[in-house]
Chains A and B, each alone.
Chain A
Amino acid sequence: MNESQEAALISRCQAGDQEAFSTLVEQHSRVLFGTAYLMTRDRGLAEDAVQGALIQMWKKLPSLRLHSNLKAWLVRIVVNEVNQQRRKKRLPTVPLEQAPEITDDLEEAETALVRDEDHQRLRQALEVLTVEQREAVVLRYFSDLTVPEVAAVSGEREGTIKSRLSRALDKLGEIMRKDEIFQDRR
């Protein structure tokens, strides 16, 4: 869908066209659900957040300027909804000091495919990130937002996001390196 078609769809949504809204949402369904899922790490909570976000999108669409960055705007609503649900429902977030140690037990990984093993290691490494770091990493590397867009979505300054991403990647890199060394020694 090109920009003019998207603009036409947005205009229709703003005028109350429900079919246009369905089409618009479905264009971005993967990034909307995926962002919520990767932030919550729980499919049910992600579905709840996306459902709530869809309602908010519909209500707020008339205030959207036609040339706004639609994807970033939609993602921001999902992120707000996840954070709101997190406050309401106390989603299972893990403070850094209580994050689980990266286990040395790779028995399970031994039987898995290498690809799955890598995912498992990365999944474990991601557990070490703070909520804010994880949000920034998800928005940057899954939602595929630029740093300024991540900053706008998170309500932070660009410098803060750059620093947050850098620290998150340093931390992940360090853990993955340790894991590689451990694997090599085995």
Chain B
Amino acid sequence: MDREKLEQDLRNHFSAEVKEAEPSRDWWHNAIARINESKHRSRWFGFMPKRRLAWVLVPVLVLLVGGTVYGASSLLSELFQKHAPQIEEAGLAQELDLSQTINGITVSLERVYADSNVVLVGFTVSGPDARYQPEVGELFTADGQNLPAMIGVGSRSKAIMGNWNSSELAMIYTFDTSSLKDVPSELSLILEADVADLPIIGESQTLAGPFRFEFDVPFHAGKSIDIGQTVEAAGVPVTLEQVVISPWGARAVLQLPNGDKYMPIVSFNLPNGDSVNGVFSKHMETAIVQYFTGDFTGQAGVWTMIVSELVSVDTTQQRLAGPWVFHFDVP
């Protein structure tokens, strides 16, 4: 049989075989939903705030040893350098020496930072076993206001993809400060979190917690610019409500009809000529908040924000091509 014909027959055959067996869209919806559940359980990279009720149900394995002093680990420094270099290089993070050990697992809170967009909380987890993961903590202000969790990023010592046999885990949690009304010079915060094991597949089990830390952190106020411009493209009006610029980065608040069904592809053109892409977005009740990382606080002048595309978040993959272009002045 001719080799080329055989290769083409194989392509056709495989394609037909898969077509007969392909799962439905519902299956993919459910599979991705389970990822979200797993992600929320695993608390590894993106997450949602955990419910406090769950903590009540956790058997408390208590051996509290407070006050053990650790220097900020090199792993955590590397993580800050990688994920928040603008903060690390400017020396804006506050170093802390707070640690607790519960059930043989030690959580050390070592580095924190706060501004008008985020609070970054950096800590390490270590213990006799290797497969630990911190569950999402909850962060409260001293007056009890809960700051929603946004992102978690982590790294292990000897961090090689797929190698979990490492002794130390470093994490940075990012919490949203957009709900803070009064801008203080210093924030008093309380972090509570559990530590769980890290299964390859399946549900994790809480091993120890809650770990609780109270600490103060300088608050770096940024610039908040109310804009309120509406631009229409592809028959869709998009309104840029506000941009908040801080040393950590910037957030742009967008309003659009059925905004919860779309993910915007957004970029900024800065006064110095640089272009930066949005790194993640989240849906609020009536708005999409798009985040950019980098210190843009020195960028006074005319900014341009370009929403090049709106991509539907369902399986239809519908795309609305823009661009929606906004110009605004930053003092």
Which residues of A pack against B, CB within 8 Å? 5, 7-8, 11-12, 14-23, 25-27, 29-30, 33-34, 37-38, 43, 46-47, 50-52, 54-56, 58-63, 118-119, 122-123, 137-138, 141-142, 169, 172-173, 176-177, 180
A23 near B263 with CB under 8 A, answer yes
What are 14 A-B pairs with beta-carbon distances under 8 A? Answer: A7-B277, A20-B280, A34-B14, A38-B14, A58-B45, A62-B154, A63-B161, A118-B9, A119-B17, A123-B17, A138-B14, A142-B11, A169-B7, A172-B6
A152 to B10 alpha-carbon distance, docked (Å): 22
Q: Once the chains bind, are A141 and B1 in contact (CB under 8 Å)? A: no
**B26-65: which have CB < 8 Å to A?**
27-28, 31-32, 34-36, 38-39, 42, 44-47
Which of A8, A38, A51, A176 touches B34 (beta carbons < 8 Å)? A51
In Å, the complex CA distance between A62 and B155 comes to 9
Partner of A26, one of B17, B265, B309, B317: B317
- Interface centre among A19, A29, A51, A173, by most chain B C-beta atoms within 10 angstroms, is A19
Q: Taking the complex as formed, is B15 at the interface, i.e. its CB lies under 8 A from any CB of chain A?
A: yes
| Contact of A12 (CB < 8 Å), options: B1, B10, B278 | B278
The CA-CA distance from A172 to B159 in the complex, in Å, is 43
Chain B residues with CB under 8 Å of chain A are 1, 3, 6-7, 9-11, 13-18, 21-23, 27-28, 31-32, 34-36, 38-39, 42, 44-47, 150-154, 159, 161-162, 200-201, 263, 265, 277-283, 291, 293, 309, 311, 313, 315, 317
Chain A residue numbers with a CB within 8 Å of B14 are 34, 38, 138, 141-142
Partner of B1, one of A20, A52, A177: A177
> Are B280 and A16 closer than 8 Å at their CB atoms?
yes
How far is A141 from B3 in the complex, measured between Cα atoms in Å?
A: 13
Given contacts A21-B35, A51-B31, contact A60 B279 (CB under 8 A): no
Q: Top 9 closest A-B pairs, CB basis?
A: A16-B46, A34-B18, A142-B14, A15-B280, A16-B151, A17-B280, A141-B10, A173-B1, A12-B280
CA distance A52 to B280 in the complex (A): 25
How far is A64 from B31 in the complex, measured between Cα atoms in Å?
22
A74 and B73 CA atoms in complex are apart in Å by 32
Main secondary structure, interface of A, reads helix
How many angstroms between the C-alpha atoms of A26 and B9 in the bound complex? Answer: 27
- List the A residue with the shortest CB-CB distance to B13: A122
C-alpha gap A61/B28 in the complex (Å): 19
From A59, which residue of chain B is reached at the shortest CB distance?
A: B44
The smallest C-beta distance from A90 to any residue of chain B, in angstroms, reads 17
Assembly CA distance A17 to B282 (angstroms):
7
Does A58 contact B18, Cβ atoms closer than 8 Å?
no
* Structural contact, A37 and B313, CB atoms closer than 8 A: no
Contact partners of A30 in chain B: CB under 8 A: 18, 22
Contact of B313 (CB < 8 Å), options: A19, A33, A46? A19
